């Protein structure tokens, strides 16, 4: 997926740049996961040696892919939606449903961001580190959670702005 294939949501300059960064981070995280796992498997099978921390790094990368990947998926309008129901609604109904869904999503994002910061501050105050040889302070990878959710919230707000300032069409999906 590239920015060029993305729907008209990416007309904004700053949003488009933010999207490119988020997409690149998620993409590189997937590539890094694959490389780390392949190298670990090859090392174990050929030499019997294990780095002992690859699973930890991969788990941090899974968090990155999850919270940054949902941003990319949202901008492509590819999240789960009951199309049969949505497409049969009149334009005002679709807008109302989009607004309800966006407000609900923003509310959940803000709740998750709040609790993520509680988790991060707790890990920081306690000096909690990972249990591998790397002993990574856990607040560092935990920062990925609120960062991804903040970006998602920005994208949701931008979607609401675009959705309610756009001229009426028969479907939002026709712009893609």
For the chain, how far is it from start to end, CA to CA, in angstroms?
A: 13
Give tens-digit pLDDT for 7-46: 456 666 889 999 999 999 999 999 999 999 999 999 999 9
**Which residue segment(s) compose the domain that 68 sits in?**
3-175
Q: The tokens 């407000």 sit on which residue?
A: 103
**Residue in 21, 20, 155, 169 with CA at minimum distance from that of residue 75:** 155
Number of domain units in the chain: 1
Give tens-digit pLDDT for 67-101: 999 999 999 887 777 777 888 889 899 899 999 99
164: burial class by Cβ within 10 Å (0-12, 13-18, 19+)?
exposed
According to DSSP, the residues that pair with 129 across neighbouring strands are 137
């Amino acid at each position: 997926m590239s920015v060029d294939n993305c729907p008209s949501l990416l007309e904004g300059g700053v949003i488009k740049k933010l999207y490119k960064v988020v997409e690149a981070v998620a993409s590189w995280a997937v590539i890094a996961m694959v490389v780390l796992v392949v190298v670990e498997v090859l090392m174990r099978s050929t030499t019997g040696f294990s780095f002992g921390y690859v699973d930890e790094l991969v788990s941090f990368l899974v968090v990155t892919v999850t919270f940054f990947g949902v941003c990319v998926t949202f901008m492509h309008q590819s999240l789960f939606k009951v199309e049969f129901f949505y497409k049969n609604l009149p334009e005002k109904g679709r807008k109302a449903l989009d607004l309800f869904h966006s407000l609900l999503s923003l509310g959940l994002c803000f709740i998750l961001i709040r609790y993520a910061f509680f988790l991060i501050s707790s890990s920081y105050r306690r000096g909690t580190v990972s249990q591998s040889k790397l002993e990574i302070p856990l607040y560092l990878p935990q920062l990925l959670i609120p960062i991804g959710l903040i970006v998602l919230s920005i994208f949701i707000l931008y979607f609401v702005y675009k959705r309610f300032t756009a001229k009426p069409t028969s479907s939002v999906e026709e712009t893609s």
